[in-house]
């Protein structure tokens, strides 16, 4: 139980799922991440998520978005691989021809950043979640991905048990509770009930972050900042995607890792929570009230190194 | 033979193919490079390759890509010349009207970075290789260009002898061996056999790089980093394109050069291997696990200066 560990001991647990950089590894082994998001209205969110995944240390960061969003996201950075396969007025969905083969190469799929709420797009994303289920891929769900879950909770309750983690903010959390009929004003108890009901892990963002699989509860209380810029959630979900990819590598014994005492998905959540909160603190120290999401996002690498790299 | 030389002696050999910057030279003489690549899915790869070619010292770096990729690649940098002449749904191929005249001005053609695997595009690239053969242009082949060679090894085995160099990573190397029926678990022996079979040079990327023309073998063992970000291969192939262009200038006695003891194409390979590995080491020193391809790519100039410029 979390209560039995100090904060420092918990970060030591997270450190055990951070892979060493060994000469024998080849490109891709330390994380191939797919962010599903990016639409007519939103192009920054998937960029921040995918960039955070790269700065935490994923080898390859991909984005799957609509045709109109792709050129813009691509132009933000040559470091991301952006695939315009989601249907919008500019292109047809390419679910079996292109999306399924793309999923085949991934270690984790993050659904939601900048997805928008277009019915056609959300229908495709429901189908993508089914394709992920066929491949038993771990899922991270955030933002408009949570809007989809709120409308169709069965997408997660029918998913493989403990293979998905949802990352709602307070408002999204309230909607998820309502749509699943959970009435409970205590965040920790409500989060546990929701995790049990959906058979997944939940990371509720707040003054401190609550991370639970319905039984264990970890508390993400790394110091952040009080400046609430939009897009910090994307930095968190993207960071989380890499940590989740690493839990897969850990389980497959890619390196000679030490045993951990806690659930791997919850440790991934705590890692991402800590990295994002620390990055936000560093950004506020440097930019004050003028801090923008890019400032937080750019500091993910430095934050990660402070928290998790052996000095 | 490589074994007879120390690493430093080999770098001294490479130094001899690095042209001096003489007042009498005019623009273009020290390298006109064409990167053939850039598609719906991939725009970063050709950008990294072309930028690396420029940072090593090519006078002019061009990209030939599909219509949809061109505006994005152009937006990364005004320093590159980007030609949208490859056929995709947005435009028709312009093989004789535009591509052939472009080839006429080039010293070297790099085929593959971000090319994708669209059949129409790969068919055009087969035709481009034939146009290069008519002009006896040296070729560098990487990434999806290697996928094409794997399907049609005759594109290289029928090319001018020792005028092409392939730069596979471990996975691509395995596929090339399979498609050419070579069974050999020892990288050096297998690379020699493949080079002999195809009549070209091979640079196999790995913990150290193996560079061979089927007879001689050079070992690229400059210290790199263990962080495997995607796009480092593009930095290598782009750097290599410039070194290959310089071997042409060397042979044409553009300057009063000292004789070298080794095959020029292999020295070009060793130069590019060393530059890329050193750049990766420098990027890791500065950015740690958060290093991304841009960080490696940006340091190509500094890496080159440390290795090859007379102080």
pLDDT tens-digit map of B253-288? 999 999 999 999 999 999 999 999 999 999 999 999
pLDDT, position A22: 93
Q: Where does the pLDDT of residue A7 fall: very low under 50, low under 70, confident under 90, or very high at 90 and above? A: confident
Rounded to whole angstroms, what are the CA distances from A34 to A277, B11, B222, B227?
23, 41, 33, 19
Q: How far is B289 from chain A, CA to nearest CA, in Å?
A: 6
pLDDT, position A229: 85
pLDDT, position A15: 96
The helix/strand/coil state of B1 is coil
Q: In what order do the strands lie in the sheet with A108-111?
A: A81-86, A60-66, A32-36, A108-111, A139-141, A164-166, A201-204, A209-212, A217-220
Q: How far is A178 from chain B, CA to nearest CA, in Å?
A: 39
Determine which of A54, A66, A78, A91 to mutate to test the interface with B (most B C-beta atoms within 10 Å).
Answer: A78
Q: B61 in contact with A at a CB cutoff of 8 Å? A: no
Position B91 pLDDT exceeds 60: no
Residues A233, A143: contact at Cβ < 8 Å? yes
Q: What is the pTM of this model?
A: 0.94
Position B139 pLDDT exceeds 70: yes
Report which of B71, B39, B81, B78 is spatially closest to residue A72, judged by C-alpha positions: B71
Q: Where does the pLDDT of residue A91 fall: very low under 50, low under 70, confident under 90, or very high at 90 and above? A: low
CB contact under 8 A, A81 and B41: yes
Taking the C-alpha atoms of residue A141 and residue A134, their distance in angstroms, rounded to an integer, is: 17
In chain A, which residues have their Cβ closer than 8 Å to the Cβ of B43?
Answer: 74, 78, 82
User: Looking at chain B, how many residues does it have?
Assistant: 311
Mean pLDDT of the A173-187 span: 96
Q: Where does the pLDDT of residue B2 fall: very low under 50, low under 70, confident under 90, or very high at 90 and above? A: very low
CB contact under 8 A, A301 and B287: yes
Residue B1 or A213, more confident: A213
Position A164 pLDDT exceeds 50: yes
List all residues 6 or more positions away from B67 whose beta carbon is below 8 Å from its beta carbon: B84, B86, B88, B89, B90, B91
Q: B188 in contact with A at a CB cutoff of 8 Å? A: no
- Dmax (CA) for chain B in angstroms is 54
Rounded to whole angstroms, what are the CA distances from B223 to A163, A196, B7, B83, B282?
39, 50, 12, 36, 10
Q: Where does the pLDDT of residue B228 fall: very low under 50, low under 70, confident under 90, or very high at 90 and above? A: confident
Taking the C-alpha atoms of residue B245 and residue B33, their distance in angstroms, rounded to an integer, is: 7
**Virtual torsion, Cα B136, B137, B143, B149, nearest 10 deg:** -10
Q: Where does the pLDDT of residue A90 fall: very low under 50, low under 70, confident under 90, or very high at 90 and above? A: low
Residue A55 class from Cβ within 10 Å (0-12 exposed, 13-18 middle, 19+ buried)? buried
Q: B81 in contact with A at a CB cutoff of 8 Å? A: no
User: What values do phi and psi take at B164, rounded to 5?
Assistant: -130, 150
Tokens 């430095």, located at residue? A302
- Give me the interface pTM, i.e. the ipTM: 0.91
CB contact under 8 A, B229 and A54: yes
Report which of B190, B192, B199, B194 is spatially closest to residue B156, judged by C-alpha positions: B199
Give me A32's structure tokens: 């191939």
Q: How far is A63 from chain B, CA to nearest CA, in Å?
A: 10
CB contact under 8 A, B293 and A78: yes
pLDDT, position A104: 97
Mean pLDDT of the A86-113 span: 87
In chain B, which residues have their Cβ closer than 8 Å to the Cβ of A24?
Answer: 207
Position A2 pLDDT exceeds 70: no
Q: B157 in contact with A at a CB cutoff of 8 Å? A: no
Residues A210, A243: contact at Cβ < 8 Å? no
Taking the C-alpha atoms of residue B263 and residue B261, their distance in angstroms, rounded to an integer, is: 7
Looking at every residue in chain B, the average pLDDT score rounds to: 94
CB contact under 8 A, B290 and A301: yes
CB contact under 8 A, B44 and A81: yes
Strand pairing report for B139-141 and B164-166? parallel
- The b/e string for B224-262 (b: 16+ C-beta within 10 A; e otherwise) is bbbbbbbbbbbbbbbbbbbbbbbbbbbeeebeebeebeb
Residues B311, B291: contact at Cβ < 8 Å? no
Q: Which of A24, A77, A309 lies nearest to residue B288, judging by beta carbons?
A: A309
CB contact under 8 A, B231 and A301: no
Question: Sign of the CA dihedral B111, B116, B120, B121?
Answer: negative
pLDDT, position A89: 59
């Amino acid at each position: 139980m979390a209560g039995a560990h100090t904060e420092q001991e918990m970060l030591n647990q997270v450190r055990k799922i951070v892979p060493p950089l060994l000469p024998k590894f080849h490109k891709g082994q330390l994380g191939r991440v797919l962010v599903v998001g990016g639409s007519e209205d939103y192009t920054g969110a998937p960029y921040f998520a995918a960039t955070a995944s790269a700065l935490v240390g994923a080898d390859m960061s991909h984005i799957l978005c609509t045709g109109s969003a792709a050129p813009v996201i691509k132009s933000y950075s040559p470091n991301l691989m952006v695939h315009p396969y989601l249907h919008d007025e500019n292109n047809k969905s390419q679910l079996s021809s292109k999306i399924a083969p793309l999923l085949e190469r991934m270690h984790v799929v993050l659904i939601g950043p900048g997805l928008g709420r277009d019915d056609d797009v959300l229908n495709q994303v429901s189908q993508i979640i089914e394709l992920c289920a066929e491949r038993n891929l771990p899922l991270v769900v955030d933002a408009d991905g949570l809007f989809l879950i709120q409308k169709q909770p069965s997408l997660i309750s029918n998913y493989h048990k403990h293979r998905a983690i949802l990352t709602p903010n307070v408002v999204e959390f309230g909607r998820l509770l309502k749509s699943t009929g959970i009435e409970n004003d205590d965040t920790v108890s409500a989060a546990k009930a929701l995790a049990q009901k959906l058979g997944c892990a939940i990371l509720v963002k707040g003054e401190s972050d609550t991370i639970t699989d319905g039984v264990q509860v970890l508390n993400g209380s790394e110091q952040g900042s009080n400046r609430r810029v939009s897009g910090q959630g994307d930095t968190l979900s993207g960071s989380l995607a890499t940590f989740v990819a690493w839990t897969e590598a850990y389980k497959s014994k890619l390196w000679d890792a030490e045993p951990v005492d806690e659930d791997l998905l919850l440790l991934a959540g705590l890692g991402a929570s800590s990295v994002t909160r620390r990055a936000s603190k560093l950004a506020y120290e440097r930019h004050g009230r003028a801090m923008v999401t890019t400032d937080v996002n750019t500091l993910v690498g430095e934050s990660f190194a402070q928290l998790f790299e052996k000095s």
